[in-house]
Amino acid sequence: MASILQKLITPLFSGPPEPPRNKVTVVGVGQVGMACAISILLRELTDELALVDVMEDKLKGEMMDLQHGSLFLKTPKIVADKDYSVTANSRIVVVTAGVRQQEGESRLNLVQRNVNIFKHIIPQIVRYSPDCIIIVVSNPVDVLTYVTWKLSGLPQHRVIGSGTNLDSARFRFLMADKLGIHPSSFNGWILGEHGDTSVPVWSGTNVAGVNLQTLNPDIGTDNDDENWKETHQMVVNSAYEVIRLKGYTNWAIGLSVADLTESLMKNMNRIHPVSTMVQGMYGISDEVYLSLPCVLNSGGVASVVNMTLTEDEVAQLQASANTLWDIQKDLRDV
């Protein structure tokens, strides 16, 4: 007896189903991974979302919870498995797996533990999506982006660290809030390490093209009686503060990752401060990843913008690079 499906629908084309065109995989279904997933879904950036993790029940539960909302979404296929074959043909793979900072712990402390996890994850990702772009989110992101690049064998323009995209967003929020305007109307860049030694480029801060350092030459220094430097300090402390209050951070980083995903997926050539290989730039001789303003499109990091930095800002970048290289050189099995 013919089923409802057979009576209702007459197929016109039967062949193998089309592969996905804009598939995104999120590795790790902790708070950060799921915040990335929901942001990407609600921004309608992908036609297939794959989730991977080692915790099988949690993974299945998260997948089901998202699938139950599929009526409200434009992503028709949401899959999950601990086996990486589920990630095949991804255009973008977001890596959030690994241990996170405990209260008061610095990101750099997490390194060796996360390197060991990445040794398992990265080769599998590349095996099933050899043409993908990897966005590394796990901390310490700059070191782990370097590790990912090494473990994956991918060309450097296809391995991106979420870097200071979030620090810059926090900076723009805090600065704009003081000025009573929307963050998107405040232009300011934080570069370098996503962490304690990030570099606020005060010389570039502007609203409607009006340079703030020209209005206040002391901006960002200890002599500044308006103490704008404190705003950068708040950015550095932001994550620690949110972790102290709610145990972890997720929404802001999730939104930040969706922002990067959009530029990559839609081939936008938008500029974002993300972690990329900076050897040879600004007098940096080591093979380190740091955040610089990068043009992102569907190929990955198309180019890097040569910002005019003050001598002091260059020195800070070099100091970041040295801190990171100090850690990287001691890593085992990379």
Partner 1 sequence: MSTKEKLIGHVMKEEPVGSRCKVTVVGVGMVGMASAISVLLKDLCDELALVDVMEDKLKGEAMDLQHGSLFLKTHKIVADKDYSVTANSKVVVVTAGARQQEGESRLNLVQRNVNIFKFIIPNIVKYSPNCILLVVSNPVDILTYVAWKLSGFPRHRVIGSGTNLDSARFRHIMGEKLHLHPSSCHGWIIGEHGDSSVPVWSGVNVAGVSLQGLNPQMGAEGDSENWKAVHKMVVDGAYEVIKLKGYTSWAIGMSVADLVESIMKNLHKVHPVSTLVQGMHGVKDEVFLSIPCVLGNSGLTDVIHMTLKPDEEKQLVNSAETLWGVQKELTL
Q: Which amino acid is at 111?
A: V
Catalytic residue among 120, 157, 182, 194: 194
Total number of residues shown for the chain: 334
Q: Which helix (H) or strand (E) holds 197?
A: none
Tokens 């990843």 locate to: 289
Judge whether 120 counts as a catalytic residue: no
Complex with partner 1: residue 152 or 205, whichever CB lies closer? 205
Of the listed pieces 3-11, 111-119, 128-136, 141-149, which binds partner 1 according to CB under 8 A? 3-11
Complex with partner 1: residue 179 or 305, whichever CB lies closer? 179
The 3-state DSSP class for residue 135 equals strand
184 binds partner 1 (CB under 8 A): yes
67 binds partner 1 (CB under 8 A): yes
Complex with partner 1: residue 147 or 253, whichever CB lies closer? 253
User: Residue 69 annotated as binding?
Assistant: no
Q: Which residues contact 180 (CB under 8 A, 6 or more apart)?
A: none
CA-CA distance, 207 to 184, in Å (whole number)?
Answer: 10
Of the listed pieces 84-92, 139-147, 213-221, 275-283, which binds partner 1 according to CB under 8 A? 213-221
Torsion-angle region of 158 (φ positive above 0: left; ψ -120 to 50: alpha; else: beta) = alpha
Per-residue tokens: 256: 């930040």
Determine how β-strand 92-95 pairs with β-strand 300-304.
Answer: unpaired
Nearest approach, Cβ of residue 330 and partner 1 (Å): 32
Complex with partner 1: residue 81 or 286, whichever CB lies closer? 81
Of the listed pieces 140-148, 166-174, 291-299, 309-317, which binds partner 1 according to CB under 8 A? 166-174
Rg value, the chain, Cα = 21
Chosen residue from 15, 104, 180, 209 binding partner 1 by CB under 8 A: 180
User: Residue 139 annotated as binding?
Assistant: yes
CA-CA distance, 191 to 170, in Å (whole number)?
Answer: 13
Q: Which of residues 221-250 bind partner 1 (CB under 8 A)?
A: 226, 228, 238, 241-247, 249-250
| Active centre residues (catalytic) | 194
Question: Which residues does the annotation place in the binding site for NAD(+)?
Answer: 28-33, 53, 114, 137-139
